[in-house]
C-alpha cells in the first residue's frame, strides 16, 4: 500500500528538509531530537534494559564494567536521558561514587529527576558541546549511552570529553554495531525503513548524526585523532530480547527513531507488520530480536603510568602490529669538548593494523588499518670518557632532546641511553 505525503507524522525542521530533498544542518538535527524526546521521553529504556548478551548483561551493565570503585569516584553520564545508567551506578556502588548527568532535553531530565529524586546526583541541562561549567581534568569516567551517534558536530564533543577527563581516566560509550553481526537485525531494519519510506521517500538517505561514529573503522580513527595519548578498545556485542511476537513488535518499533516520525495510524500499521514477521520466525510462541552494539572505550594515559585494572573487565583481547619505514638524515659535528652533537631529522611512515576479536566477519575478526606520518627532530649529545676521535670506538652515553609531531600534536621529550660499537 502506498501512502501520500498528506498523512504526516512528526513535524521537525529536519524532517521537512529531508522531505524536500534538502540537506539539514546540525541545528535541524537538534530540533528533530528535541521534538522526538519531548513526545517520547524515555523511549529507549525498554529495549536497552531488556536486550542482554550471553552473560545476561544489558548495554547499561556493559558500561558499568568500566568502573573500578577503588580508583574511580567522579562519574559523568553524557546525554543521561531519563537517568537509567545513573540509577544503575548508584545501586551497584552505593555511597562510593560522585555522580552527575547532562542532557539537553527538559522532558528527559524530568524523568531522571523523578527516578533519582532520593539520590545525591547532580543533573544539568546542556548540550555535549557546551560543558564549560565542568572543570578541566575533573572526571574519572565519562559515559555516553547510545547518544554519541546522534551528536553533530561530534569532534567538539570528543575534545570536551578529553578536556574534562582526568589523566588515566576512561571514556566509555555504547554506539551502533555492525548490522550484519546480529541475526535478523537487517530484516527488521528493512521492514521499518521500507514502511517509513512509503510516507517519507527520502528518509534514510541521510543518517542522524555523524556517520563516522557508526563504523568501527572510522570511529577508531576519529577517537585516535582527538585522544592521541590513549589506548582504544572497541568491543562488538550482540544483545538479545525474546518475547511474544506482538509484545516484541511494540518494543522494537518503539526503539527506532525512524518509527517515531510516523503518525499514530501509520505507526500502528507498522507494529502489525513487525508482529507478522515475528510470528513467522517464532519458536514455541517466542520470537527473538538481536541488537548489534559496539562498546567503545578510550583509556587516557596522561602523564603517569597507566592503570590497566579496568581494561581487564572488558574481556576483549587487543592485538596491534606496526610497520615503520624510517628515513633519516644526520650530520656529525665534532667539538673540542668531550661530546659530539649530531642533529638528526627523522620521518617515520607507519602503517598500523589493529585486529579485534569479534563476530563481525566470517572468520570472527574485524580489522582497522591506518597510516600516519611521524616526524621527529632530535639533537643527541654523545658523551665519551676520552677525547672525541671516532664515534664507533667506544661505548657512549647519550642524552637526546626531542621535538616531535605525532597524530597532529607536538611533543617535547628527552631520550637517553648507551651506544655500543
Q: For residue 80, say if its preceding peptide bond is cis, omega within 30 degrees of 0.
A: no
Least confident of 1-5, 44-48, 56-60, 310-314: 1-5
pLDDT at 336: 43
> How far apart, in Å, are the Cα atoms of 381 and each of 317, 326, 334, 335, 378?
41, 21, 11, 11, 10
- Look over the chain and give the mean of its residue pLDDT values, rounded to a whole number: 78
Judged by DSSP in three states, 221 sits in helix
pLDDT at 247: 97
pLDDT at 73: 96
pLDDT at 337: 43
- Cell readout for 205 is 538517505
Q: Is the pLDDT of residue 203 over 80?
A: yes
369 alpha carbon, distance to own chain's centre: 18
User: Once rounded to an integer, what is the mean pLDDT over residues 197-204?
Assistant: 94
pLDDT at 402: 61
The domain spans of the chain are: 13-312, 318-419
> How far is the first Cα of the chain from the last one, in angstroms, to the nearest whole number?
83
Q: Is the pLDDT of residue 396 over 70?
A: no
- Side-chain-side CA neighbours of 295 within 13 Å: the count stands at 25
Indicate the pLDDT class of residue 368, thresholds 50, 70 and 90.
very low
pLDDT at 214: 84
Q: Which CATH class is domain 13-312?
A: alpha beta
pLDDT at 181: 94
Least confident of 85-89, 212-216, 391-395: 391-395
Q: Tell me, what DSSP letter sits at residue 350? A: E
Q: Is the pLDDT of residue 102 over 90?
A: yes
pLDDT at 397: 56
Q: What does the alpha-carbon distance between residue 204 and residue 366 come to, in Å, rounded to a whole number? A: 26
pLDDT at 100: 98
Q: Where are the alpha helices (DSSP H) in 241-361?
A: 245-253, 264-280, 309-312
Indicate the pLDDT class of residue 351, thresholds 50, 70 and 90.
very low
pLDDT at 194: 96
203 phi, psi to nearest 5 deg: -65, 135
Closest CA to 11 of 206, 256, 261, 204: 261
Q: Is the pLDDT of residue 166 over 90?
A: yes
Indicate the pLDDT class of residue 417, thresholds 50, 70 and 90.
low
Least confident of 90-99, 271-280, 369-378: 369-378
Indicate the pLDDT class of residue 195, thresholds 50, 70 and 90.
very high
User: Once rounded to an integer, what is the mean pLDDT over residues 202-231?
Assistant: 85
pLDDT at 189: 97
Q: What does the alpha-carbon distance between residue 241 and residue 185 come to, in Å, rounded to a whole number? A: 12
pLDDT at 300: 67
pLDDT at 227: 79
Return all residues near 167 (Cβ < 8 A) that are at least 6 apart: 137, 300, 301, 302, 303, 304
Cell match 542482554: residue?
52
Regarding predicted confidence, which is higher, 148 or 415?
A: 148
pLDDT at 223: 84
Amino acid at each position: 500500500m502506498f501512502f501520500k505525503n498528506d498523512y504526516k507524522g512528526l513535524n521537525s525542521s529536519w524532517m521537512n528538509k529531508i522531505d524536500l530533498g534538502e540537506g539539514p544542518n546540525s541545528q535541524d538535527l537538534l530540533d528533530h531530537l528535541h521534538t522526538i524526546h519531548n513526545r517520547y521521553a524515555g523511549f529507549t529504556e525498554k529495549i536497552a534494559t531488556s536486550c542482554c548478551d550471553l552473560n545476561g548483561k544489558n548495554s547499561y551493565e556493559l558500561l558499568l564494567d568500566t568502573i573500578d570503585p577503588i580508583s574511580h569516584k567522579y562519574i559523568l553520564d553524557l546525554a543521561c536521558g531519563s537517568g537509567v545508567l545513573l540509577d544503575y551506578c548508584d545501586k551497584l556502588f552505593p555511597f562510593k561514587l560522585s555522580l552527575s548527568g547532562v542532557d539537553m532535553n527538559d522532558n528527559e531530565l524530568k524523568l531522571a529527576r523523578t527516578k533519582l529524586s532520593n539520590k545525591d546526583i547532580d543533573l544539568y541541562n546542556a548540550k555535549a558541546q557546551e560543558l564549560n561549567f565542568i572543570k578541566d581534568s575533573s572526571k574519572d569516567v565519562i559515559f555516553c549511552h547510545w547518544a554519541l551517534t546522534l551528536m553533530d558536530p561530534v569532534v567538539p564533543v570528543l575534545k570536551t570529553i578529553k578536556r574534562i577527563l582526568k589523566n588515566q581516566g576512561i571514556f566509555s560509550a555504547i554506539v551502533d554495531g555492525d548490522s550484519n553481526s546480529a541475526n535478523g537485525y537487517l530484516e527488521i531494519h528493512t521492514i521499518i525503513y521500507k514502511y517509513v519510506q512509503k510516507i517519507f521517500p527520502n528518509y534514510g538517505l541521510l543518517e542522524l548524526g555523524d556517520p563516522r561514529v557508526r563504523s568501527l573503522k572510522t570511529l577508531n580513527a576519529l577517537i585516535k585523532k582527538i585522544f592521541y595519548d590513549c589506548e582504544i578498545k572497541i568491543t562488538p556485542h550482540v544483545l538479545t530480547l525474546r518475547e511474544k511476537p506482538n509484545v516484541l513488535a511494540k518494543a522494537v518499533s518503539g526503539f527506532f527513531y525512524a518509527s517515531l516520525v510516523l503518525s499514530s495510524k501509520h505507526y500502528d500499521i507498522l507494529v502489525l507488520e513487525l508482529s507478522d514477521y515475528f510470528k513467522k520466525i517464532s519458536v514455541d510462541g517466542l520470537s527473538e530480536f538481536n541488537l548489534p552494539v559496539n562498546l567503545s572505550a578510550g583509556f587516557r594515559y596522561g602523564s603517569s603510568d597507566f592503570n590497566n585494572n579496568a581494561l581487564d573487565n572488558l574481556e576483549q583481547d587487543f592485538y596491534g602490529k606496526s610497520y615503520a619505514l624510517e628515513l633519516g638524515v644526520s650530520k656529525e659535528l665534532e667539538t673540542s669538548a668531550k661530546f659530539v652533537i649530531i642533529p638528526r631529522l627523522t620521518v617515520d611512515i607507519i602503517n598500523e593494523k589493529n585486529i579485534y576479536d569479534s563476530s563481525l566477519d566470517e572468520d570472527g575478526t574485524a580489522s582497522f588499518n591506518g597510516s600516519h606520518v611521524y616526524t621527529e627532530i632530535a639533537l643527541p649529545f654523545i658523551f665519551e670518557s676520552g677525547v672525541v676521535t671516532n664515534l664507533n670506538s667506544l661505548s657512549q652515553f647519550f642524552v637526546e632532546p626531542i621535538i616531535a609531531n605525532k597524530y597532529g600534536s607536538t611533543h617535547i621529550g628527552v631520550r637517553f641511553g648507551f651506544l655500543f660499537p
